Amino acid sequence: MAKDHWSSAAYNSAANFVPQLTSKVVAYLDVQPTDHILDLGCGDGTLTYQLAAAAPQGRVLGLDNSASFISTAQEKHTTPNSTYRHVDCSKLSSCPDAIDGSWDKVFSNAAMHWILRDPSIRHPFFADVHKALKPGGKFVFEQGGAGNVAEAHAAAISALIHAGVPVAEAYEASPWFFPSPDWMRGALEKAGFEVEVCELEYRPTKLTAESGGSGAGLEGWVRLMCAQFLDAVEDGKRDAVAREICTVLEPVVTRGEDGSRWMGYCRLRAVARKKA
C-alpha cells in the first residue's frame, strides 16, 4: 500500500466540499432501494453512507486504500447494509468478491484520478469494473478531468524544481491523471461498456475559509491534496515548498471583490453501461 496521506480531520477542514458537491453524479447514479453498489475510493464514507441510506434493501461496499479513512468509515458510517474494506482499487483483481459480477452499480467520486495514476493499470482497472457489474449494470463516476486544478499542478511542479528536484522527478511526483472525455470514452468502450454520458465541466470551487471561518483554507488544501508533491523534497525543505506553492497560488485563486479563494476544478463525469 502507498503511504497514507489522508485523515478525516484534515479532509473535513480543507476539502469538505468534495463529498458535498455531488448532486450531478449522484443523480446519474439514480440509487434504487434494492441496489447493490460498489464505491471505489470511498474515503471516510461520508457519501457512501448516503448511498446506503437510499438503498435500504440493497447493500453498499466501500473500498479505499487509506487505512485512516477506512477506520473512520467503519467507526462512523457503517450501517446494517454497508461495509468498508482497505483495498488498493488499482488492483481490484486482488479483491475477488468486488469483481464477482454481482453489482448493480459501481460508483466513484473524486478518486479515480488518484487510482489511475499508473498508466499500466488503467485498462485492467476498467476491465475489472466491467467484470464487477451484473449484465445491464451501470458504472457512474466523477473525477478530475483535463485541466483540473491546473494552477495548483503548475505551482507544485515549479516549486519542486526551485527546490532542486530534477524536472523529470518533479513531473513524476504528480499523483494525478486528469484525462480528457475522449480518452475516457475510448477506455470505457475498449472495456466493453456502452457510454451514455461522458462530460467535462469547469466547476470553480470555493475553498474553505481560514480567516473568520473554520476551514484550513488554501494552505490546508495544498498540504492535503499536494502531499505527494511535498514528499518528493527532503524533510527540511517541505514547509518552504508548501509556502511557495501557496504564495504563487494566492493572487491567482483569490477574488479581489471579497477575498474568497476558488480552485479551478474541472470535473469529468461518466455513465457507462455493461451490455445486458
Ligand X SMILES: C[S@@+](CC[C@H](N)C(=O)[O-])C[C@H]1O[C@@H](n2cnc3c(N)ncnc32)[C@H](O)[C@@H]1O
Residue 112 or 244: the one with the smaller Cβ distance to ligand X is: 112
Q: Contact between 18 and ligand X (CB under 6 A)? A: yes
φ and ψ of 256, to 5 deg: -60, -35
The rounded distance, in Å, linking the Cα atoms of 25 and 271 is: 9
Burial class (CB in 10 A: 0-12, 13-18, 19+), 195: middle
| Residues 149 and 37: beta-carbon distance below 8 Å | no
Q: Contact between 145 and ligand X (CB under 6 A)? A: no
φ and ψ of 139, to 5 deg: -110, 120
Residue 68 or 244: the one with the smaller Cβ distance to ligand X is: 68
What is the per-residue binding string for ligand X in 167-206, x denoting contact by CB under 6 A? Answer: ----------------------------------------
Q: Contact between 31 and ligand X (CB under 6 A)? A: no
Residues 112-141 touching ligand X, rule: CB under 6 A, are 114-115
The rounded distance, in Å, linking the Cα atoms of 274 and 7 is: 34
Choice from 69, 178, 193, 229 touching ligand X (CB under 6 A): 69
Q: Contact between 64 and ligand X (CB under 6 A)? A: yes
The rounded distance, in Å, linking the Cα atoms of 244 and 11 is: 22
Q: Contact between 12 and ligand X (CB under 6 A)? A: no
The distance of closest approach from Cβ of residue 121 to ligand X in the complex, given in angstroms and rounded to an integer, is 9
Q: Which three-class secondary structure state does DSSP give residue 77?
A: coil
Q: Which positions lie near ligand X, rule CB under 6 A?
A: 6, 18-19, 41-43, 46-47, 64-66, 69, 88-90, 109-111, 114-115
